[in-house]
Structure 1
Amino acid sequence: MSNTKKTGVSFDVQESIKYAEDSVVSQTLLNKDTGTITLFAFDEGQGLSEHTAPFDAVVHVLDGQAKVTLGGEPHDVRAGEMIIMPANVPHALQAEQRFKMLLTMIRGE
């Protein structure tokens, strides 16, 4: 589906990405100069190591549960919740159970 979904056509975001054993799967839905929208599926125990990004990002939890660490402070996030990750703040993510998220990154100030 990477950049192949036509605008104005509905689709089931939950079914658009599948879990893979011992893996993190990602799929870019939209990639523009102004930002990106990416789906992720994390198997239990998988994660993203601490890093920073030069732009604000929003994590919208679609399924499961994860721990998001922002600036050294852990936050438990569950299906239906969102968390905003500010630009230039170190963050990491660890799936405490299988976990799907929609990541929206906003480029700009």
Structure 2
Amino acid sequence: MGEKYIKNIDFEKVLDFKNLIEYIENGIESRTFVQREDFSMTLFAFEQGEGVSDYSMPGDTMFYVFEGKMEVNINEDKKFLLQEGESIVVPSDVFHSFNALEKSKVLIIIVKEQK
């Protein structure tokens, strides 16, 4: 068996994605599946009102909401409401922030230039 590139998850087993992470009171829980220099994939559980202030990443960032509702702000002038089953991609080096409008579970994938 070769090296495993995806971590913190069972292999060769059908899993209920929504149950891979639980909410924590008044906070943010995360579970990283892949963390490389050029690619990361992390599952988050946000309590209502939790989020991340304005920042930028040197890579394209994809948000996929699989439970709840999130507001994603891009460049402070574009606001997007994401509901269960919806996603959005923020281009590399663009400032953005996000906030959970209700308890939300989100998969965040970041893809950067491979060096």
TM-score, with length taken from structure 1: 0.90
Q: Larger Cα Rg: Structure 1 or Structure 2?
A: 2
Distance 1:33 1:8, change over 3 A: farther
Whether 1:95 and 2:73 are equivalent positions in the alignment is no
- Computed over aligned residues only, the root mean square deviation of the Cα atoms, in angstroms, reads 1.7
| The structure with more strand, counted as a fraction of residues | 1
Query: 1:77 pairs with 65, 76, 82, which one?
Result: 82
Residue of structure 2 in register with 1:14 after alignment: 18
| 1: CA distance, partners of 2:38 / 2:14 | 22
Whether 1:28 and 2:40 are equivalent positions in the alignment is no
- The total of aligned residue pairs comes to 108
| 2: CA distance, partners of 1:9 / 1:29 | 15
TM-score, with length taken from structure 2: 0.86
| 2: CA distance, partners of 1:36 / 1:8 | 21
Identity %: 26
| 8 Å Cα contact 2:66-2:107 kept in structure 1 | yes
Gaps of 5+ in 1: none
Whether 1:67 and 2:76 are equivalent positions in the alignment is no
Deviation at 1:8, TM superposition (A): 4.4
